[in-house]
Amino acid sequence: MATVQEALLFAFDLHREGRLTEADTIYQRILDVAPGFPEALHLRGLILAEAGRLEEAAGHIDRAIAGNGAKADYHANLASILEALDRQDEAADRLTAAMALDSTKVESLNGFAARRLRQGQPDLAARILRDGVAAAPLLPELRYNLALALTRLGRDAEAAAQHRAGLLLVPDDASAARILSERLCALNREQDAMRILVRAVRLDPAQPDAWNLLGNRQKADSRLSEARRSYERGLSLAPGAAEMWNNRSSVLKGQGDLPGAVAALRRAHALFPDSPAILNNLADAFLLSGEAENALDAAEQALALAPELADARVIRAVALLSLERFAQGWAAWEDRWLAEPWSLFAARFPQPAWDGRPPASGQLLIWGEQGVGDEIQFAALVPSLTRAGIDCVLECDERLIPLFERSLPAVRLVARTTPPDPALLSPGIAAQCPSGSLPRFLLEDSGRFRLDPYLKADPERTATLRARCTAAAADALPSRPLLIGIAWHTTNPKQGRSRNLPLATLARSLNLPGVRMVVLQYGDWSGEVAALAKDGIDIRLPDAIDPWSDLDGLAAQIAATDLVVTIDNATAHMAGALGHPLWVLLPFAPNWRWLRDRADSPWYPSARLFRQPTPGDWRTPLQDVRDRLAAFVGRAPTA
């Protein structure tokens, strides 16, 4: 008669040959004789598992472990069964026990953790991977998976530390270096991230993702030429990478290459037609290129895919306004409150939003938004409210109060503060309206409205400043010069590149006999003015005002000139609102408020607009200005 051990070996041979029913019969007979025999319990548990009887299988192997817990295979095989039963925490415990008995089981533990990550269980994956790292600290795969789990748990600093440890174990792993760079970026450790990323592309220049990340970092550092080269290297390896075409377009926008940006975005859109982000960027590029119709179409496509996309809503509104579709445009313009920076101030005041009707009682609060130029532009609508008998309070930039007090005597003015002046939160305020929302209620659906100038400069300061500018000097002209106020710069972060002109370019264009230029631009330009003066160009730097802090003085200085020639900035709005002769130099794709193709402005009847015929071409509008100025000089008043 065979012993139990001999029977077990015979059954095991049958098991290996796939004769499972016969093997199972013998395992059962062994267990009838020796119910707690660990190996028979373990092997019969495996047969039960293969038959899909997982609960019974787990029970058998659990009893085997109770009889002999020193067998790593028992723990590892029970872990597999428990995982199949979705008893993941118990499975993790068994794998940890198996690895403690046999370090080769770390591979099973790593595989289990990877599956937990795929199943959205990073907490359990992190727990078991920590055990794995403790038992096998030199395995980089464990470190990388632990880093991934920690990242998904939002523990970026710990993730970066694990990834760095993995990279130290495999210093030539280019993919690991790229991922570590991403981790460091998430921690705002930009210099370390850049250093590791450069290492990644040196180790393996054939990583398109690494070139894309490197381009992103260079773009964030305003190193646009380098970023462009990085994206182009990446695209040479992965020409179908829509994200990289999209990223490259941002660099091209920043470099002023709008046709290139549009072309890159068209390529990105063709590769990923259902991306609202790409369509949004394409709409923006069209808008910057002066293609308002295409911008509107792309923005509406983006919104069809993602109605909540705030930037696309703003682009749609701006395109409609540029196209003089005002009824739709003013309504769409209200969507700006969904996007930054407007969304940061959307709940500035607690009173109900104005509905366009005179309040039954109390005052209407109007509050300025955006920049000084915008405040000046939209405040032109306030006189129509006071004429209608509406009691208005206007919150505005503190620098505007002296000028507005003189110009809007029927309006109570309050300086803007953060938080707002408590007086503006009182029950006496019946309704509130941001100034940029006034057109929705007060302007007709036509670009042919004409707003009356409403600003009034201080007459005494104006006379004093005019006298200063025309005072006799060593280079005095035989008769009083024609005074031309000039401004050429804006700090607008998005459109400054296309709007700004070099002072020397503007000054040389306006340098005609009988012309004296007066600087209206804020900032210290004394060095450039002195250099131009050496070339015989007559420019005066007013010493009695600071155009940045003294806006009432700036208004007086504008009024003291005979004509203002400026780019699109606050000076243009102030001169137009004063009703002063104004020539505005506009880029090919100007801001929406200057509309399209027109030489006049419904906002400012005294303005004449000079537009670039093609992007970047200042020569043509400057020559037009010079020709008209030559005729204007002949009409200049004599001393």
71-89 tens-digit pLDDT: 888 888 888 888 888 898 8
Reported confidence tier of residue 472, pLDDT bands at 50, 70, 90: very low
For 626, residues 6+ apart whose C-beta sits below 8 A from its C-beta are 509, 510, 512
For 73, residues 6+ apart whose C-beta sits below 8 A from its C-beta are 42, 98, 102
Reported confidence tier of residue 112, pLDDT bands at 50, 70, 90: confident
User: Is pLDDT above 60 for 576?
Assistant: yes
Report the percentage of the chain scoring pLDDT > 70: 91
Which tokens in the block code for residue 289? 């290129």
Question: What confidence score (pLDDT) does residue 629 get?
Answer: 95
Across the range 519-543, mean pLDDT stands at 93
Helices (H) and strands (E) in the chain, counts: 31, 10
Question: What confidence score (pLDDT) does residue 383 get?
Answer: 96
Reported confidence tier of residue 167, pLDDT bands at 50, 70, 90: low
Average pLDDT, the chain: 88
Question: What confidence score (pLDDT) does residue 613 get?
Answer: 94
133, 121 in Cβ contact below 8 A?
no
Residue with the larger pLDDT of the pair 415 and 157: 415
196-205: long-range contacts, CB 8 A cutoff, minimum separation 24? 196/167, 200/174, 200/175, 201/174, 203/172, 203/173, 203/174, 203/177, 204/174, 204/175, 205/233
Which tokens in the block code for residue 322? 């540029």
User: Is pLDDT above 90 for 611?
Assistant: yes
For 589, residues 6+ apart whose C-beta sits below 8 A from its C-beta are 258, 287, 288, 289, 290, 291, 498, 615
Residue with the larger pLDDT of the pair 200 and 63: 63
Question: What confidence score (pLDDT) does residue 399 get?
Answer: 97
Three-class SS state of 423: helix
User: Is pLDDT above 70 for 474?
Assistant: no
Across the range 617-625, mean pLDDT stands at 96
Question: What confidence score (pLDDT) does residue 192 get?
Answer: 66
Q: What is the CA radius of gyration of the chain?
A: 37
* Domain span(s) for CATH 3.40.50.2000 in the chain: 459-633
Per-residue three-class SS string for 59-126: HHHHHHHHHCCCCHHHHHHHHHHHHHCCCHHHHHHHHHHHHHHCHHHHHHHHHHHHHHHHCCCHHHHH
Please state the pTM of the whole predicted model: 0.74
Across the range 517-529, mean pLDDT stands at 94
Specify the range with the lowest mean pLDDT, choosing from 147-151, 434-438, 492-496, 577-581.
Answer: 492-496
Q: Does the domain spanning 348-442 belong to CATH 3.40.50?
A: yes
Question: What confidence score (pLDDT) does residue 250 get?
Answer: 94
Q: What is the pLDDT of residues 216-252, one digit of tens each?
A: 888 988 889 999 999 999 999 999 999 999 999 999 9
Q: Does the domain spanning 459-633 belong to CATH 3.40.50.2000?
A: yes
User: Is pLDDT above 90 for 164?
Assistant: no
Q: What is the pLDDT of residues 16-59, one digit of tens each?
A: 777 778 777 777 777 777 787 788 788 888 888 788 888 888 88
DSSP category for residue 443? S
User: 96-105, 108-117, 496-505 — which one is most confidently predicted on average?
Assistant: 496-505
Question: What confidence score (pLDDT) does residue 186 get?
Answer: 61
Cross-sheet strand order for the sheet of 363-367: 412-415, 392-396, 363-367, 429-434
Question: What confidence score (pLDDT) does residue 169 get?
Answer: 55
Question: What confidence score (pLDDT) does residue 639 get?
Answer: 36
Report the percentage of the chain scoring pLDDT > 90: 54
